[in-house]
């Protein structure tokens, strides 16, 4: 095994340099949160305050970008596409892929709820799309290694028939994700208007990676680079990076939509101030205590081997995004299909109390599912034969519907005495009656709410959301709140060391590199020896899988090496 690990490590070091990303600031350790684990152990409220402090650093960037020429160009391109009937396509992978689906969904729902706003026989809602690496299936479970294939992104663009004067908005925190750059190159070559939103200074990936140089330099590509520095949890772009990208892309879409509908809305600078006000409000004494109390409440449930089942209606996609991302970030059991009876239950799950699973998916996405139904010949033609050695990836629409996110009973979750049902949303639009009916089998229930209305029971975050066409700030508030809760809970449960995600799941080449760097940092090794240790651990974990949860080879390696040095 040792010889094979050395071979794999040397091969990765020599032949996969395009995935060695330690030079990116976004991948480094944030000095503000260097002792985050200790701060949460000392005081949950102090830990929450530290996370919000890192979010506050985004306000200045938001103010600069929302008043700049690049933002104006992006918003105008979206408006022109709406006016002329061309497509707007959002593209992303992982956290940014889920963001892309969310932006499409809230835009489509606007026209479903306001049909009178269509200025033509063909609703503009049908002209907005999202490309998620791995398709819609990846919304709920990571699709391993798909992001490493630029040709996959190219095919997804071809499948949507992106053409001249369409607009593609590609979103990637690091600026280097191969599948996303594939969408950029294919759309640009098809003469679409392409915007690439990244959270590092463009010259850094451009200098180091050939695939970035090709994409960034294309005449049809406008790069919107917003260097936001290191994440609160090192490398976890689901946090500050995706928050900033959600704000910029979302404001552009909302601004274009308001203009299309002939409505006046506040100037873009107001969004930055609303964002600043939201962060300040989340950090006030009352809300800080409430968030901390909820983190400790959820921690207690998991410590006692219980489960959390979140229930949501309009914000189900937002909740689904955060809970899905907990699995690869902290090596938690992923969401389970109804057919996977032998798989461990996920710590958290998401359901809609108002619909059965089929209709819940339609309501959540505001469209039919868009999963990848690729054939054996498709993968061969895409030079991805290695992915189908054990059969086609099970990522079709029929597989996605096996995740029961509707009001159907979840017997094993309900029967656990320590399980709890949590209704999530805004206090003025809650499906309380539906929640009560759908959760009659749960012993414990509560609510996690944002708003100012009084409710009988629950954790209430006091904040008055501004009204806007897409309710963008509401969705941003839910994202920020759940990011803080999931991160804080996992930090308190020991799944973060300092600010490193040491329970990382190494499901693609970028994460392999990150895992190697974490091991090197934590165990005092050079890159090569850390790589050898990681590849050895990957095989050892396969030979002795845990019955209760997915083991992180990174954490396994750290424990093994530190144990040997005592």
Q: Return d(Cα 52, Cα 40) in angstroms, integer.
A: 13
Contacts of 463 (CB under 8 A, 6+ apart): 278, 281, 282, 287, 450, 451, 452, 477
Tokens, residue 3: 């010889």
Quick one: average pLDDT of 149-176? Answer: 97
Quote the domain boundaries for residue 354.
39-55+280-372+392-492
Computed over every residue of the chain, the mean pLDDT equals 92
pLDDT at 222 over 60: yes
Same domain, yes or no, for 16 and 79?
no
- In this structure, is residue 261 part of a structural domain? yes
Name the most confidently modeled range: 17-31, 124-138, 281-295: 281-295
Same domain, yes or no, for 485 and 338?
yes
Same domain, yes or no, for 530 and 477?
no
- In this structure, is residue 270 part of a structural domain? no
pLDDT at 229 over 50: yes
**Which region among 56-65, 93-102, 413-422 has the lowest average model confidence (pLDDT)?**
413-422
Number of domains in the chain: 3
CA distances from 89 to 100, 124, 219, 373, 397 (A): 8, 13, 19, 20, 20
Same domain, yes or no, for 416 and 554?
no
- In this structure, is residue 385 part of a structural domain? no
Phi-psi region of 352 (alpha: psi -120 to 50; beta: other; left: phi over 0): beta
CB 475 within 8 A of CB 483: no
Q: Domain ends where: 492, 522, 549?
A: 492
- In this structure, is residue 380 part of a structural domain? no
Residue 438 is predicted with a pLDDT of: 94
Same domain, yes or no, for 403 and 479?
yes
- In this structure, is residue 150 part of a structural domain? yes
Q: Quote the pTM value.
A: 0.93
Quick one: average pLDDT of 444-455? Answer: 85
Helices (H), 388-508: 397-400, 411-415, 432-438, 472-492
What DSSP assignment string belongs to 312-331? -STTHHHHHHHHHHHHHHHT
Higher pLDDT, 467 or 402: 402
Same domain, yes or no, for 222 and 77?
yes
For 326-337, write each residue's pLDDT tens digit: 888 888 888 999
CATH number of the domain where residue 93 is located: 3.40.50.10490
Residue 83 is predicted with a pLDDT of: 92
Same domain, yes or no, for 227 and 290?
no
Q: Return d(Cα 389, Cα 26) in angstroms, integer.
A: 34
For 329-365, write each residue's pLDDT tens digit: 888 888 999 999 888 889 999 999 999 999 999 999 9
For 231-250, write each residue's pLDDT tens digit: 999 989 999 999 999 999 99
Percent of the chain predicted with pLDDT > 70: 95
- In this structure, is residue 468 part of a structural domain? yes
Same domain, yes or no, for 299 and 402?
yes
CB 172 within 8 A of CB 91: no
- In this structure, is residue 275 part of a structural domain? no
- Residues found in the chain: 566
Same domain, yes or no, for 418 and 538?
no
Same domain, yes or no, for 509 and 430?
no
Residue 119 is predicted with a pLDDT of: 58
Q: Domain ends where: 465, 492, 519?
A: 492
For 532-550, write each residue's pLDDT tens digit: 999 999 999 888 766 556 6
CATH number of the domain where residue 365 is located: 3.40.50
Tokens, residue 501: 């995600």
Q: Which of 179, 173, 174 is nearest to 156 (CA)?
A: 179
- In this structure, is residue 551 part of a structural domain? yes
Q: Domain ends where: 241, 265, 289?
A: 265
């Amino acid at each position: 095994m040792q010889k094979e690990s050395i071979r794999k490590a040397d091969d990765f070091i020599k032949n996969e340099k395009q995935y060695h990303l330690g030079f990116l600031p976004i991948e480094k350790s944030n000095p503000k949160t260097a002792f985050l684990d200790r701060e949460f152990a000392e005081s949950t409220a102090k830990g929450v305050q530290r996370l919000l402090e890192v979010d506050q650093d985004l306000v200045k960037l938001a103010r600069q970008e929302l008043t700049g020429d690049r933002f104006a160009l992006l918003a105008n391109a979206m408006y022109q596409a709406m006016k002329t009937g061309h497509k707007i396509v959002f593209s992303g992978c992982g956290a940014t892929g889920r963001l892309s689906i969310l932006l499409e969904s809230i835009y489509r729902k606007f026209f479903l709820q306001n049909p009178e706003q269509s200025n033509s026989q063909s609703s503009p809602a049908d002209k907005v799309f999202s490309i998620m690496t791995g398709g819609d299936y990846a919304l709920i479970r990571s699709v391993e290694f798909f992001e490493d294939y630029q040709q996959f992104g190219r095919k997804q663009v071809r499948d949507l028939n992106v053409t001249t004067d369409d607009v593609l908005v590609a979103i990637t925190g690091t600026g280097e994700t191969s599948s996303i750059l594939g969408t950029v190159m294919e759309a640009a070559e098809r003469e679409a208007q392409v915007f690439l939103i990244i959270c590092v200074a463009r010259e850094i990936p451009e200098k180091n990676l050939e695939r970035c140089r090709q994409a960034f330099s294309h005449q049809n590509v406008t790069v919107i680079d917003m260097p936001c520095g290191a994440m609160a949890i090192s490398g976890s772009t689901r946090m500050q990076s995706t928050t900033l990208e959600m704000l910029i892309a979302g404001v552009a879409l909302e601004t274009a939509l308001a203009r299309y509908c002939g409505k006046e809305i506040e100037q873009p600078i107001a969004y930055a101030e609303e964002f600043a006000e939201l962060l300040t409000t989340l950090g006030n004494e009352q809300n800080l205590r409430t968030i901390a109390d909820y983190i400790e409440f959820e921690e207690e449930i998991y410590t006692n081997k219980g489960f959390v089942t979140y229930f949501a209606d309009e914000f189900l996609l937002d909740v689904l995004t955060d809970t899905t991302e907990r699995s690869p970030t902290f090596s938690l059991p992923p969401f389970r299909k109804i057919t996977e009876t032998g798989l461990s239950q996920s710590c958290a799950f998401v359901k809609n109390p108002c619909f059965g699973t089929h209709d819940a998916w339609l309501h959540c996405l505001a469209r039919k599912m868009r999963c990848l139904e690729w054939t054996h010949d498709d993968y061969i033609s895409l030079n991805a034969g290695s992915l189908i050695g054990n059969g086609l990836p099970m990522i079709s629409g029929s597989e996605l519907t096996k995740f029961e996110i509707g009001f159907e009973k979840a017997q094993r979750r309900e029967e656990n005495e320590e399980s709890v049902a949590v209704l999530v949303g805004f206090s003025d639009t809650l499906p309380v009656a539906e929640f009560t009916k759908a959760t009659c089998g749960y012993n414990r229930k509560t609510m996690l709410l944002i708003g100012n209305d009084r409710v009988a029971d629950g954790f209430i975050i006091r904040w008055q959301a501004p009204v806007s066409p897409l309710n963008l700030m509401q969705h941003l508030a839910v994202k920020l709140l759940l990011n803080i809760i999931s991160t804080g809970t996992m930090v308190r449960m020991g799944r973060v060391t300092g600010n490193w995600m040491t329970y990382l799941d190494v499901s693609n080449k970028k994460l392999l590199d990150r895992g190697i760097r974490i091991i090197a940092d934590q165990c005092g090794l050079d890159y090569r020896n850390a790589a050898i240790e990681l590849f050895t651990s990957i095989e050892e974990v396969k030979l002795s899988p845990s019955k209760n949860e997915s083991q992180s080879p990174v954490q396994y390696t750290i424990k093994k090496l530190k144990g040997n040095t005592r």
